[in-house]
Structures are given as C-alpha cells and as structure tokens.
C-alpha cells in the first residue's frame, strides 16, 4: 500500500514550485478547477495539486509567521522589511490571501531561516502518505503530534476543488475552531471558503457557515444539525448543506467510544412525571434485605463450611463490589477458580436448586443489568400489591410504573456516585465512561436519570420527548465518502473493516519513536498501587522530568491529587469542563517539573511539546544526584538508558567523573553495543540502580478495557521523535481484573504471567465491546431505514412539488389499507360485507362509499368504489376551498401527523428495543425477530400516518360549515399555524 503511495510522493516532490510568485501559484487552483470541470479525473492532477498545497503550507503557515505581531525572531534583511511593510500596508484593506509576494522574497527567507525559528512548515513525506490514504477514503493512523491537522487539508482541498462539500469533524468545539483558524490561510490562498460550525451559533450563523466549501465542526453539532433540520417545517429554515465528503478526526473515539450513545434531540416534557418516590422505600428495603442476606452468607463463608464456595459465588452475584468478598478473594488464591467452577457446574447441571434462588436479585456487572429473582418479585409485590410486576404488563400506565421501579433498582445497585455520575448544583452530571470527563447536558435515557435523581433525593427533572435520534455511525454513513485519522486504530483494524468497511493504513512516524514503554507493575490492592504511583511520580519529579498521569475517573484523579498534595507535589488536575482551558494545561504538561493528572483522554487533540531547556535541566539534576550518591558512599551505580539518543545526551557528562567509580549503562532495551562501557558491566553488583530518561514520562494508573485507549495515553509522550517513557500500574482490584479476569487464579505475582493475564482480560473486554457495538449497529440499521423513509416523506412534502397526483396516490394507498382491514379476501365474493368499511369511511372522512351493484364484488371493484367515493368528496371540497389552498392544507396536515406519529413511534421504539434486548438474554441472537417485528410496527405506523392525514384533511371545516360538524380535526391550532407559515 504505502509503496504505491511512495511512488506518488516522489512524483509530488519532483515539482519545484519555489520559483513561482504568489500570484502565479494562486492561479493553479483555478486551473485545477477548470480541468476537473472539463471531466479530467482528479487522479490526473493529484500530484501537481498536492505539490501546490505543500508549497502553500510552507509559505503561508511557515514563512508568513514573520508577519505575526508576536513574532520575535530578528530579521533586518532589506527584502524582509520591504515585504513586511507591503503586508502591513495592505492588511488594512484586504484579506491575507489577496496579498501576493514575489518568489524572491520566499527564496531569501528560505536561505536565512534556522531550524527552530518557527518559519518552516513544509509538509513531510509521511504526511503526504497520510493525505493519500485519506483521499482514498481510508483511516490514516499517525501518532500524536505527527501533524494530522495539516494532513486533512490535502484531501479536503482536492475534494473541494472538484466541487464537493467537505466536512471535517473534530471531537470538540475548541478543536473545530482552532483547526479552522489555523488551516484557514491555506484554503483561502487556493480560493476556497472555509468556516466552522460551533455549538453556540444561531441558525443564521450556521447556515452561513455551511455555505463554505470546507466546514470544520464538532461531530455532535453535525449530527444535531441533521436531526434538527429534519424536524423543520420549511426547507429554507434548514441550515446544513448536502452531506458529501467527511473527514473524521480522532475517528476511533467517534466510531467506537461513541458508537453506543445515540444523538438525541428532545422536546417538551411529557405529562407523566413517574412514580419514583412511591417506589423508593420498597427499593431501599429490597436492598437492605439483600445486604442482610449477604452478611449471613459471609458469616457462613468465614465459618469455613463446606459449601463456602457456593456462598461466595452467591455473594458475587448479589453484590460484586462487596469489600469483604474482594478481601477474601485476594487472600485466598484459589477462591476465584473454585467459585467460577461452581457457577459453571450449576449452570450446566440445570439443577433444580439455582444459586440465585436464595437471593432477591442478581447483579450482572458486565451487562449492567439487575434481575429480580422469584423471591425478589414476591418481596416487592408484597409491598406494592400482588401482580404489580407480573400481571397486566400491557396496561401502559403500569408498564411505565414497572419501568420506573426497575430503573430505580438499577440506580441503586449499579450506578455509583462520584464514579458514574456526580451530584452538582442539585442535579446529576454524568461522568463519561471513556474520557472521564463531566458530560454536562447529557442524560441517562429511559428514566434512569430520573431514578438516580430520586435515589440521591434531588428534584426529579422531566423526562423529555424524543424528537429525533441517530447514532454517530449512521449519521456519518449518510455521507458519500468518509475518511478518518487517529493515532490509535490498528488494534481495531478488523472491526473498522467489518463494521464500517474502512481500511486502516499505518503511516510511519516522521522521526522514529524512541519512547521506552516500561513493563507494567502489579499490586494486590488499589492502595498499594497508588502508593507506588506516588513514589514513581516523586522520583521523576525530583529530576525535573514532566510527568503525565492518566486515571480512569474523576474520582480517582481526585484521590491521587490528594495524595500528591500530602507529599507536597504541585500538580495540575485536568477534569476541566472547558476544552480551551484543558488544552492550555495539557500544552504546558511538557515543561520541567510539570505534573499533570488527566482522565484518560482529556485534552485529546492537543499536542504536548517539551520545554525548551528541559533536557539540560534534567541531565544536570541527574548528574548532581549521581555525584551526591557517590559521595555518600555508593560505589557503583547502574544507570539504565533506553535509547541511543538519551545515551548520547548523557555520556559526555560522565567522562570526567571521579576515577575509580563507574557508571555503567544497563541495557534492558534497544541499545546494544556501546563500546565505551562494554565489558565493565558485570564486575560489581550495583549498590544502586536507576532509570535515566529524558522527556515526558507517562503513567497509566490502570489498564483500560481497550488497548487502543492505553495506546492513546502512551502516545502523549515521544512525539516527533522526542525521548520519553511510559509505564502502566495495575492492581487485582482494577475493574479489568475484577470483571474480565475473574476465573484466573493468581498464585504467584510473576510479572510476565500477570502481563499475560492482563492482556487476556483486556482482549475479553475488547471482544465484548465489539459485540455490543456490532449489535447496536445491526439493530440501528433497522431504524435507520425507517428514519430515512420518514425524513424522505417530509422532504418531499416540503420541497414544494406536492401535487394533486401525490394526494391521489395517498388515497389509493389508503384504499389498500382499508381493503386489508375490512375485506376478507378468502371469502367468496358474494359473501363479502362492506358495511363496516362504509361506516368507517363515513364517520371518519365524511366519504360515502357506494356499493357496486348486484351484491357481488371483486377486490378490484371494491378498490374502484373506494377511489371513486374519495375522488368525489375530494373534488367537491377542492371546488369550494380552491386547489392552492387544498394542497397547502394537505401539506400542513401531513406534516403535523408525521411529526406526532414519528415522535410517538420513537419513544415507543426505545421501549420496544429494551424489551427485545431483555429477551435476547434468553434466546441468544434474535436479530431476525427484531427485524420482523420492527418492520411490522413500522408498517402499522405508515398506515396510521395515511389514515390520520386523510382524516385531518377531510375534517377541515368548509366555509359556512358549523364547527360542531368537525369530525376530528387533529390539531386545529398546529394546523392553523402551519397553514399560515406559507409552506
Ligand atoms: P496530531 O493531530 O497528529 O496530534 P497536530 O496536527 O496537532 O498533530 O500537530 C502537532 C504539531 O506539529 C503542531 O504544533 C504543528 O505545528 C506541528 N507540525 C505538524 N506538521 C508540521 C510540519 N510539516 N512542519 C512543522 N511543524 C509541523
Ligand atoms: Mg489532532
């Protein structure tokens, strides 16, 4: 793959454009546009076009730094001061892209610029490779700090020049704004319009922004705009441009981490506020009762009875986080294994006696569910009335109450304060599972949010009415072409291929990565682990090295922060709600002595550059330290060095060390032959061993369920060939081990074995993540088709070419509905009875269907009779109302009906989804059933849309008609408003 790309890169580099004046260079984009519009294939102009863009980068984002107000380099050269006065003079009246300088100016600057003066911005060859991968609609995997922002500009320009709208989706507003402003000069120089869509913008501003050729925006905004546009009642109110090409930055975060959370827009609250308060005492006593039970079981375990493993297994089902249980498991090495043996034995034997029988409910941590046992049901019904949970589940109100009750139970058992959510300003704020960030404005669905509010005794907020929902995946699939970039994709390459048909191309780093990824360290308990982490931070910190510590949750960052404070270590803690502020902190995380605690992906997208004097400061500190140690009596210090670069930085300082004492590099990793020290190595046992390293040190305080996320954290260090290191800490109490490593027995604490176990647990967790995402996608495919159908219907109505013929076909479709409802096709023709059908048409539509003569009707005859009857009424009404008004009325009614029906359907559907997903635990994969049932429901929805539309249209009062004659006008005010909106 990359070989083919390399050939193109050579071709790109064969163009030398440095001799062109700006005015000449800028004409190229016109030339390209022309050629493309004449039908020349884009591939044809590709190498030259990329060469032009490359040159523009170096000129406008490199050399033009000279004209920045804050540029500090000195430049007295005549050519430069002349150029500066030209630019400054013109800036007042025209945009930078209109200011053209000569080739001679650029030549002069190129001759005098120095490395590190910030005047060079020439895209690297590897960046061109990445650009080509994106251009072909693939995922370019490039490390952090490799300059992916720049890479995306190449395909975006090419596509925009060939007339496609390009969207570039970022993870947040801050990055959308930053990237747009930063890359803007390049687009503008080529005559392309670029803009960004930000969440605070008004519709008018958005509409304006979407007009640009290239639009930056955060992925949520793109999706929300799509949903919002599709509930608007006039096409001209829509803001979004056509969805053509999209480049997704941090694509793994968007397609994987966000895959299971749909984007939802919601409207006015529903009337029913829920019965949470009523159920609270019952749920609490249920939990107390189970806690007593667990106490009893624990006592039995401690009595060392023979059945203690059965009891343990039961406790694990009843309360997987029980502290005594975890302790016991830690201190009794075989317990895990014996316990899971028992579980599988019981499951396999299908014995009469089930483990859960003694419990009230069973907690499934993996699937985040709580299942009531028969005992639990009996207990609850004892308080709430018999049959409450089991009977009459079809009565809507009761179904709603049962849902409230079960969600409340989940809220108590599964959702942990300060881990899953925090209480803030009298409300619940969700803590994002992946980023550890506070997700303001996000709400748990399905009444869970309200349930948690009730548990915390807060005011219960209203549950919203869903007006539209779509998953990130399905939103991005609406584009003709999708490409993406990230530092971490290859571990999930197969999934990208299978689920999204996206290929991952690994692009080599511009300069080889020399970061040392040190082996993981393992501890029994969280406590011991954190202590060790603090020790390591202290050590690195004492040499002035910057340290970045990644934690899993806000709560854990705070705990660590408190520990560091106790040790007097100044640090920044990053759970900022503000991305811009977050970016500032993370940017300075590479300064000497900086200690930064961040949740897993906080600050994604911002690059950590190392402080200017960092290496010197760190080396001085180490040398100082060695000298002191030697003076204090250490005879032989072994220094582990992990890269040639670091060795070469340190070595010169060691030459004039006091004789008789040696410092010998140990080389556990990459460096092999270092002649100066070789051979002296094993003479003495070192009295002190120490790791020497430069650059940023990253500590992971826990392994995440997906290796990809760990890679993301590690990748913060060692950017652009910088030295650096990373290490992960794990304990047996980490979620990863507890949930996915259960059946393993930990006998010895051998690091290699532990690493294997951890990796196995991680693989299991990754598989589980994959399965869930796959399921979400497969299921969402079904609703995706439905959503598209509804949205298409709306757009057709709105697009203005709604004609009488459209209305006729609506009627004839409805005739089919009537036939299938009232006419029994299997009966002999002469026994068919049309009286029900006639009655229905008369009462609902005021339409009189005339029976065909002779009492003998074929289906065809019936069809004709219905059509004629409707046509007659329709013509009569149209004669009175006028054709124009009739069409307007039809449109207004249909829009209203569509909206009400669709929102009802959405809320009904999420409930249906859940009931199906409960069944799936019983029956395994039931996707086929789901498709079938869902499509049946959807067909019913379409039929009811037809019926309600006709009813609304035919019941609109004719002039002079008495109001009480209105049969059932659905929504008189809404229809009135829609009518006056002049569709
Ligand atoms: P990524 O998104 O891959 O993590 P960014 O796009 O944020 O990386 O860029 C990281 C840094 O590298 C930026 O400060 C940028 O200025 C710098 N950079 C990228 N490409 C080049 C280049 N060709 N020449 C000079 N600096 C570059
Ligand atoms: Mg980036």
**pLDDT above 90 (res 462):** no
Which run of H or E residues covers position 965?
none
Q: Distance (Å, rounded) from C-alpha 529 to C-alpha 727? A: 13
Given pLDDT bands bounded at 50, 70 and 90, which one contains residue 975? low
**pLDDT above 50 (res 720):** yes
Q: Distance (Å, rounded) from C-alpha 50 to C-alpha 58? A: 13
pLDDT of residue 702: 93
Query: At residue 215, what are phi and psi to the nearest 5 degrees?
Result: -120, 120
Cα–Cα–Cα angle for 186, 188, 189, nearest 5°?
65
Q: How far is the CA of 145 from the centre of ligand 2 (A)?
A: 7
pLDDT of residue 20: 95
pLDDT of residue 674: 40
**Ligand of minimum distance to the alpha carbon of 721:** 1
**pLDDT above 70 (res 512):** yes
User: Which of 68, 147, 249 for a ligand 1 pocket mutation test, highest count of atoms within 8 Å of Cβ?
Assistant: 147
pLDDT of residue 316: 87
Judge contact between 493 and 766, C-beta under 8 A: no
Which tens digit of pLDDT belongs to each residue from 303-355? 877 778 888 888 988 998 888 888 888 887 777 778 877 777 776 665 556 77
Cβ atoms within 10 A of the Cβ of 312, count?
24
Query: At residue 33, what are phi and psi to the nearest 5 degrees?
Result: -55, -45
Q: Distance (Å, rounded) from C-alpha 641 to C-alpha 663? A: 11
Q: Which residue's CA lies nearest to atom 23 of ligand 1? A: 123
**Residue bearing the bigger pLDDT, 957 or 976:** 957
Which tens digit of pLDDT belongs to each residue from 552-566? 887 888 899 999 999
pLDDT of residue 368: 78
Q: Which residue's CA lies nearest to atom 26 of ligand 1? A: 121
Judge contact between 267 and 467, C-beta under 8 A: yes
Strand pairing of 245-249 and 572-574? Answer: unpaired
Which tens digit of pLDDT belongs to each residue from 627-660? 888 788 777 777 888 888 888 888 888 776 665 4
Nearest by Cα to 245 from 140, 131, 190, 169: 169
**Residue bearing the bigger pLDDT, 142 or 783:** 142
**Ligand of minimum distance to the alpha carbon of 123:** 1
Mean pLDDT of 230-249: 90
Which atom of ligand 1 sits closest to the CA of residue 609? Answer: 14
Q: Distance (Å, rounded) from C-alpha 437 to C-alpha 204? A: 31
Q: Which of 221-230, 379-388, 650-659, 688-697 has the lowest mean pLDDT?
A: 650-659
Judge contact between 458 and 428, C-beta under 8 A: yes
- Look up residue 734 and give its two tokens: 């980490």
Which atom of ligand 1 sits closest to the CA of residue 146? Answer: 3
Q: Distance (Å, rounded) from C-alpha 190 to C-alpha 162? A: 13
Which atom of ligand 1 sits closest to the CA of residue 121? Answer: 24
Given pLDDT bands bounded at 50, 70 and 90, which one contains residue 661? low
Mean pLDDT of 527-550: 95
Scored b (16 or more CB within 10 A) or e, 938-947 reads beebbbebbb
Q: Which residue's CA lies nearest to atom 6 of ligand 1? A: 147
Q: Distance (Å, rounded) from C-alpha 765 to C-alpha 365? A: 12
Ranked by mean pLDDT, the top range of 417-431, 604-618, 856-870, 949-963 is 604-618
| Ligand 1 residue neighbourhood (C-beta within 6 Å) | 121-124, 127, 142, 144-150, 607
Given pLDDT bands bounded at 50, 70 and 90, which one contains residue 678? very low
Nearest by Cα to 771 from 367, 251, 344: 367
Cα–Cα–Cα angle for 172, 176, 182, nearest 5°?
140
Q: Which residue is listed with tokens 């659905």?
A: 970
Q: How far is the CA of 59 from the centre of ligand 1 (A)?
A: 16
Q: How far is the CA of 607 from the centre of ligand 2 (A)?
A: 8
Which tens digit of pLDDT belongs to each residue from 25-77? 999 999 999 998 888 888 889 999 999 999 999 999 999 988 887 776 666 67
Q: How far is the CA of 194 from the centre of ligand 2 (A)?
A: 18
Q: Which of 295-304, 381-390, 492-501 has the lowest mean pLDDT?
A: 381-390
Q: How far is the CA of 435 from the centre of ligand 1 (A)?
A: 23
Given pLDDT bands bounded at 50, 70 and 90, which one contains residue 669? very low
Which atom of ligand 1 sits closest to the CA of residue 143? Answer: 3
**Ligand of minimum distance to the alpha carbon of 131:** 1
Mean pLDDT of 74-93: 79
**pLDDT above 80 (res 261):** no
pLDDT of residue 671: 42
pLDDT of residue 399: 64
Q: Distance (Å, rounded) from C-alpha 315 to C-alpha 834? A: 65
**Residue bearing the bigger pLDDT, 658 or 467:** 467
pLDDT of residue 680: 45
**Ligand of minimum distance to the alpha carbon of 171:** 2
pLDDT of residue 663: 56
Q: How far is the CA of 660 from the centre of ligand 1 (A)?
A: 47
Q: Distance (Å, rounded) from C-alpha 302 to C-alpha 289? A: 20
Ranked by mean pLDDT, the top range of 734-748, 768-782, 865-879, 964-978 is 865-879
pLDDT of residue 629: 83
Given pLDDT bands bounded at 50, 70 and 90, which one contains residue 965? very low
């Amino acid at each position: 793959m990359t070989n083919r790309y390399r050939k193109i890169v050579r071709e790109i580099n064969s163009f030398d454009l440095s001799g062109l004046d700006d005015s000449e260079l800028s004409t190229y984009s016109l030339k390209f546009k022309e050629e493309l519009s004449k039908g020349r294939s884009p591939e044809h102009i590709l190498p030259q076009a990329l060469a032009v863009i490359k040159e523009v980068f170096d000129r406008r984002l490199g050399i033009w730094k000279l004209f920045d107000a804050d540029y500090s380099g000195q430049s007295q050269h005549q050519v430069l001061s002349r150029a500066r006065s030209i630019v400054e003079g013109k800036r007042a009246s025209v945009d930078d892209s209109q200011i053209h300088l000569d080739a001679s100016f650029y030549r002069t600057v190129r001759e005098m610029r120095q490395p590190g003066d910030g005047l060079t911005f020439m895209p690297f060859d590897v960046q061109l490779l990445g650009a080509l991968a994106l251009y072909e609609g693939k995922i370019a995997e490039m490390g952090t700090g490799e300059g992916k922002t720049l890479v995306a500009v190449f395909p975006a320009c090419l596509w925009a020049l060939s007339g496609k709208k390009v969207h570039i989706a970022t993870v947040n507003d801050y990055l959308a704004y930053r990237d747009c402003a930063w890359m803007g000069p390049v687009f503008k120089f080529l005559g392309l319009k670029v803009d960004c869509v930000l969440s605070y913008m008004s519709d008018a501003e958005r509409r304006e922004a979407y007009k640009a050729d290239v639009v930056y925006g955060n992925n949520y905004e793109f999706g929300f705009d799509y949903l919002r546009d599709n509930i608007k009642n006039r096409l001209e109110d829509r803001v979004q441009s056509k969805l053509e090409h999209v480049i997704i930055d941090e694509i793994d975060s968007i397609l994987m981490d966000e895959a299971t959370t749909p984007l939802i827009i919601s409207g006015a609250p529903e009337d029913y506020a829920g019965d949470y308060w009523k159920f609270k005492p019952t749920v609490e006593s249920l939990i107390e009762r189970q806690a007593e039970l667990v106490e009893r079981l624990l006592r039995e375990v401690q009595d060392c009875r023979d059945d203690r493993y059965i009891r343990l297994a039961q406790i694990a089902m009843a309360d997987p986080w029980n502290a005594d249980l975890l302790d016991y498991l830690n201190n009794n090495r075989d317990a895990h294994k014996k316990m899971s043996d028992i579980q599988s034995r019981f499951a396999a034997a299908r014995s009469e006696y089930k483990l859960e029988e003694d419990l009230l409910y069973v907690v499934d941590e993996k699937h985040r569910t709580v299942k009531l046992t028969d005992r639990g049901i009996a207990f609850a019904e004892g308080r709430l009335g018999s049959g409450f949970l089991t009977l009459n589940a079809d009565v809507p109100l009761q179904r709603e109450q049962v849902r409230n009750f079960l969600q409340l139970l989940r809220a108590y058992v599964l959702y942990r304060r300060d881990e899953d959510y925090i209480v803030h300003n009298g409300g619940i704020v969700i803590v994002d599972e992946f980023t550890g960030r506070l997700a303001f404005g996000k709400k748990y669905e399905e009444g869970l949010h309200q349930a948690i509010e009730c548990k915390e005794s807060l005011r219960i907020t209203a549950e919203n009415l869903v007006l539209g929902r779509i998953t990130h995946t399905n939103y991005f699939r609406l584009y003709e072409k999708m490409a993406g970039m990230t530092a971490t994709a290859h571990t999930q390459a197969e999934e990208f291929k299978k689920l999204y048909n996206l290929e991952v191309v690994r692009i080599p780093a511009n300069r080889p990565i020399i970061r040392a990824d040190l082996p993981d360290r393992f501890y029994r308990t969280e406590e011991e682990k954190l202590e060790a982490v603090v020790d390591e931070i202290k050590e690195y910190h004492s040499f002035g090295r910057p340290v970045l510590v990644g934690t899993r949750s806000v709560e854990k960052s705070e705990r660590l922060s408190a520990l560091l404070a106790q040790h007097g270590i100044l640090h920044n803690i990053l759970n900022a709600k503000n991305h811009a502020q977050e970016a500032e902190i993370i940017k300075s995380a590479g300064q000497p002595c900086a200690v930064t605690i961040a949740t897993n992906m906080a600050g994604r997208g911002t690059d950590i550059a190392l402080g200017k004097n960092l290496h010197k400061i760190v080396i001085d500190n180490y040398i100082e330290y060695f000298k002191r140690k030697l003076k204090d009596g250490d005879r032989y210090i072994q220094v582990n060095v992990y890269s040639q670069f670091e060795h070469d930085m340190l070595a010169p300082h060691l030459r004039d060390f006091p004789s008789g004492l040696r410092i010998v590099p140990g080389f556990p990793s990459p460096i092999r032959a270092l002649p100066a020290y070789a051979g002296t190595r094993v003479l003495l046992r070192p009295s002190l061993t120490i790791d020497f390293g430069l650059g940023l040190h990253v500590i992971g305080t826990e392994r995440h369920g997906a290796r990809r996320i760990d890679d993301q954290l590690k990748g913060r260090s060692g950017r652009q060939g910088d030295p650096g290191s990373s290490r992960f800490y794990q304990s047996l109490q980490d979620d990863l081990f507890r949930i996915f490593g259960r059946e393993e027995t930990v006998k010895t604490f051998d690091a290699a074995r532990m690493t294997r176990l951890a990796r196995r647990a991680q693989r299991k967790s990754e598989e589980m993540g994959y399965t869930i995402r796959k399921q979400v996608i497969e299921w969402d495919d079904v609703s995706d088709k439905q959503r598209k159908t509804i949205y298409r219907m709306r757009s057709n109505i709105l697009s203005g070419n709604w004609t009488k013929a459209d209305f006729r076909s609506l009627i004839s479709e409805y005739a089919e509905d009537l036939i299938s409802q009232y006419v029994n096709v299997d009966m002999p023709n002469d026994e068919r009875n049309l009286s029900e059908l006639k009655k229905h048409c008369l009462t609902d539509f005021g339409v009189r269907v005339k029976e065909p003569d002779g009492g003998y009707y074929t289906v065809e005859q019936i069809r004709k009779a219905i059509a004629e009857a409707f046509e007659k009424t329709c013509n009569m009404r149209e004669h009175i109302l006028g054709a124009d008004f009739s069409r307007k009325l039809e449109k207004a009614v249909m829009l209203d009906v569509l909206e009400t029906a669709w929102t009802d359907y959405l809320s009904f559907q999420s409930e249906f989804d859940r009931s199906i997903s409960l069944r799936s635990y019983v029956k395994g994969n039931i996707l086929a059933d789901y498709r079938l049932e869902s499509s049946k429901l959807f067909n019913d929805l379409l039929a009811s849309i037809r019926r309600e539309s006709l009813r609304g249209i035919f019941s609109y009062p004719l002039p002079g008609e008495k109001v009480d004659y209105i049969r059932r006008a659905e929504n008189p005010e809404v229809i009135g408003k829609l009518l006056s909106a002049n569709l």
